[in-house]
Amino acid sequence: MLKQTVTQSLSLCYYSEFTDVNVTGGGVWSPGEQVTVEGKLLYDWFGQWASVNDTTLKMTFAGNTYKTLTYPSIAGSPNFQFNITVPQLADGQYEVDLLYDGYTPPWVIGCISPCSYSFTVTIQSSPPQGTSGGQLSPPQEQYPSQLSLTVSPEVTVGQSATLIATATFADGTPAPGFKVDFAINNTLIGSAVTNAKGVADTSFTPEAEGSYTATAWLDADQSVSASASFTASSSTTSGTTCTSTSQCPQGTVCQNGVCTQCNGVIVGSTCVPTWAIVAGVGAVALTGLVIAISK
């Protein structure tokens, strides 16, 4: 039932292939059911098969095209996953095609060749009967049911901060391969795909002091979401350990191994009090006056 084709576009190409493709229910689907197609995309690196990461894959099924990104594979686990809702189709057999367009790295002469993988699924309106005569259990929910969101601490105006979202299934296991959207005060700032640990992140730089609300949600199901509130200040709180001022947040200097708030002007790696600067300017002016009189 399964077939695979590999094409080579240049004489100096590295082959690629889909392997270990698994589908929900063994390929017997019902209209409206949420299903998963997962597997591995590998390429031949001088005789050693390696995972193809951070690349776009397409899946065509019943006239629809779906896209996903590959992610690092851990201990032979899948490195791609499509999660879809089966369209309302008449009972029968339908072909599913996985497509990879290939890739030409800038540092090699040649390319990782494109390839395709096709299989057939059976659409059946009512659940199939089990071998024992009873009904098979419906497939487990394939979308993450939980999303958490954290913001890097000590958010400072003008400095990059990080939003970190973690997606998990109902049983608490990580949910890789899902797109997560991020917003600040209801304005979309970016998207990212969860890695093998179910983690996706994006960064932003606050331009003004004040309170902010960060929000993250699952692109495939916006009801799965999380939010976090934080405050951006012009400088971070003192107290961070350090060995040099370059390690300290803006507005602080390293004194006695601790980042300390500077209430004057930072000159090099030293905090110069305002009164010292004023006094120094006055001394320079006075010295100039004495020199002028003596002439």
At residue 284, the pLDDT reads 44
Residues 6+ apart with CB under 8 A from 75: none
- In this predicted structure, the answer to whether residue 266 has a pLDDT above a threshold of 90 is no
Domain with CATH 2.60.40.10 in the chain: 146-232
Residue found under tokens 């003004």: 208
- In this predicted structure, the answer to whether residue 233 has a pLDDT above a threshold of 90 is no
Residue-wise pLDDT for 198-226, tens only, equals 899 999 888 888 889 999 998 877 888 99
At residue 53, the pLDDT reads 84
Q: Where are the beta strands (DSSP E) in 101-207?
A: 111-112, 115-123, 146-151, 161-168, 179-184, 187-193, 199-204
Residue-wise pLDDT for 155-181, tens only, equals 888 888 899 999 998 888 888 888 899
Q: Which of 15, 37, 13, 17 is nearest to 25 (CA)?
A: 37
Residue-wise pLDDT for 73-106, tens only, equals 666 688 899 999 999 888 888 999 999 988 766 6
Q: Could you tell me which CATH class the domain 3-123 is placed in?
A: mainly beta
CB 184 within 8 A of CB 151: no
The domain at 146-232 falls in which architecture? Sandwich (2.60)
Q: CA torsion, points 220, 221, 224, 228, in degrees to nearest 10? A: 60
Q: pLDDT: is 123 or 270 the higher one?
A: 123
Residues 232, 157: Cα–Cα separation, whole Å: 6
Q: What is the DSSP string of 14-65?
A: E-EEEEEEEEGGGGEE-TT-EEEEEEEEEEEETTEEEE--S-EEEEEETTEE
